[in-house]
Chains A and B, each alone.
Chain A
Amino acid sequence: MSTTLGTDERRGELRGTGGAGASTPQNLMIFVLSMALFGLSNIILEVVPDVSIGPVEFSVSYFVFIPLTLAALVSPFWVALGAPLGEIVFTDLLMGDFSGLAEVEGFIQMFLAIFVAGSIIRNPRSRGQIFLGALLIVGIDKFLSAVVDLAKVWIGVEDAEFVEGLPQSILFLESLGFGVDVIISGILFGAIPALWLIPELYGRLEPLLGLQPREPGKPFPGEAPKAFWFVAVAVLAGLGSFVFAFLEAVDLSFGVFEPDFLDAYGDVFLWVGAGAAVVVLAIAVILFAVWRKRRAGRGDLR
């Protein structure tokens, strides 16, 4: 397929690419490109009506193949930063669909999913790796949000009267939704288009950005560094996305399963929401500080 290289051999150094944290023009290009394309795909999906049977939605959540293609061909780190931002800027801000803190939760989940999946793909021409990458993006993103959803119900039910069969039905619905998402978003609109698109674009897209195509066996810009701090940030980010969800959970779960809690507990519970907001803010600040440190100390990443 590729026009530039016939074999998997290494040839020459990668040129013109900065590290994971550098704000070089090339990284800015990758960032903006992934933002624009993922945002565009989300606008197109806005037009498509969702089919939902009961509470299970049979819809395309997002076009996974777009961030996957970019992450496989260029830098996973900048694509992972750009793609969720594109969704927020293009659809959420512009369409007025901005849901505040829940957006941050979605951003972190999507960032982790794309970053990990993009780092898994070492060889953009390997079909197995592309397939795995597509499944990983949907898997990580949807698994995290499903866990958060389950936790919301669990928290709500723990303090309230136990509702017969509720945990089972929620677990069933969540796993059903997860399965539907993996099949529709992960395989139909993830792996299958990516299997066609990635080899097709390999060696054609990179020169337009002034990059050399990624070659197997070579380190590439923005891959996951196997360092301790990366694991720490990932865990913190996962925790962060969890706490963001709790702000909703405090309201939603108690609202649903304990209608008269206000009489029982007074206004104290309202301040649980405020407390959660403070925790959320603290974690956001920590994450931001880590990110900046990472930008500053890019020398020791490689």
Chain B
Amino acid sequence: MKLARKQRDVLSVEWVKLELIRTAYATRGGLISRMDPRVVIGWYVLFAMAPWFTHNLTTLACLFALASVFVVISRVGPLVLGLFVIGLGFELVYLVLAATLFGGDFTTFVALTEVTVKLGVVSLVSLAAFVSLDPEKLSDALLALHFPPAVAFAVSYGYRMMPILVEEFSTVMEGYQLREAPPIKGGVLGWRHLAHWAKIVVKAFYPIFLNTAKSVRTTVEALEARGFTFATIDPRGREIRLGSLRVTGLDIAVVAATVVAITGCYAIGAAWPLHRT
């Protein structure tokens, strides 16, 4: 139990939940949240492809900085940003280990870092893009790009339901923890605590399965009552739903500025090339 309590003090579950809700419902404002969702997806693809066409470390560093700028102006929350930084940190540790294992030296490490930076750029851009899009906008964009309607619905359902599901799960978990005594002795490395925790997690899924099945059925039946399937068959339904999407001057300006900035990164890279040696 000590283990669990320590974790909870560092990162309160309540805070994580609130932060997730804030992320899901988005709109901390920010530049990208005011853009047309289709353009945002195009912008994301453009930016995410950019780092894969070069091995020039200067260009990659510039792209990384540019992506960071976009993360700042789209006001990404501390939780997702924190998770990203932790992930990147673990990746670097793994790279060092891998490099030493393969008998590599600093060069190998730099070579591996290149891939990490590329993935980092992609991750930063997806942070900026997808945190700014609220579920409705994202699913509208997917629908506009001719994804199956079920996928578009799934995205918006997932974003909306996730905080509720997490809350429900933590309530059930707490119920099980209150009902079941934790092991008295920890054993080697506290494996008994781990086993106990794992058992409770698995057990908690039993009521969650049934509850979620019930709420999913309610949702889908409510959708059907409003003609969800019919709307996917009749093209007019799609038109009505996508009628609100407008590409404005802001969208064009942001995409143009991004293209110029990426070209600039490549130009800087060409002027002061830095390759692995």
Contact = CB atoms under 8 A, between A and B. Distances in A.
Interface of A: 23-25, 28-29, 31-33, 35-37, 39-41, 43-44, 46-47, 50, 52, 54-55, 63, 65-66, 69, 82, 85-86, 89-90, 93-100, 163, 166, 169, 188-189, 193, 196-197, 200-201, 204-205, 208-210, 247-248, 251-252, 255-256, 259-260, 262, 270, 273-274, 277
Given A32-B220, A43-B162, A46-B83, A98 B210 contact: no
Given A28-B153, A95-B84, 7 more contacts: A28-B228, A35-B158, A36-B216, A40-B208, A89-B154, A89-B159, A201-B210
Contacts of A28: 150, 153, 220, 223, 228
A54 B100 CA distance: 10
Contacts of A37: 205, 208-209, 212
Given A94-B159, A204-B210, A209 B217 contact: yes
11 contacts: A39-B165, A44-B169, A44-B201, A47-B7, A86-B158, A94-B23, A96-B76, A197-B209, A201-B209, A205-B213, A270-B54
A47 B11 CA distance: 10
**Which are the 7 A-B pairs with shortest beta-carbon distances?**
A96-B127, A89-B158, A98-B126, A208-B213, A193-B202, A33-B216, A29-B220
A196 B205 CA distance: 11
B18 interface: no
A44 B62 CA distance: 35
Given A32-B157, A36-B158, A255-B111, A197 B205 contact: yes
Contact of B118 (A23, A24, A251): A251
Contact of B123 (A66, A85, A98): A98
A55 B95 CA distance: 9
Interface in B5-34: 7, 20, 23-24
Contact of B158 (A39, A52, A99, A189): A39
A255 B115 contact: yes
B264 interface: no
Interface in B235-277: 275-277
Contact of B220 (A25, A95, A97): A25
Interface in B186-212: 198, 201-202, 205-206, 208-210, 212
Contact of A25 (B55, B119, B209, B229): B229
B2 interface: no
Contacts of A210: 217
A270 B221 CA distance: 51
A40 B169 CA distance: 9
A85 B155 CA distance: 9
A256 B112 contact: yes
Contacts, number: 186
Contacts of B111: 255-256, 259
A39 B162 contact: yes
A115 B149 CA distance: 22
B69 interface: no
B131 A96 contact: yes
A82 B154 contact: yes
Contacts of B24: 94
Interface in B138-162: 148-151, 153-155, 157-159, 161-162
Interface in B45-60: 48-49, 52-55
Interface in B76-132: 76, 80, 83-84, 87, 90, 94, 97-98, 101-102, 107-108, 111-112, 114-115, 118-119, 122-124, 126-127, 130-131
Nearest to B48: A100
B174 to A, nearest CB: 14
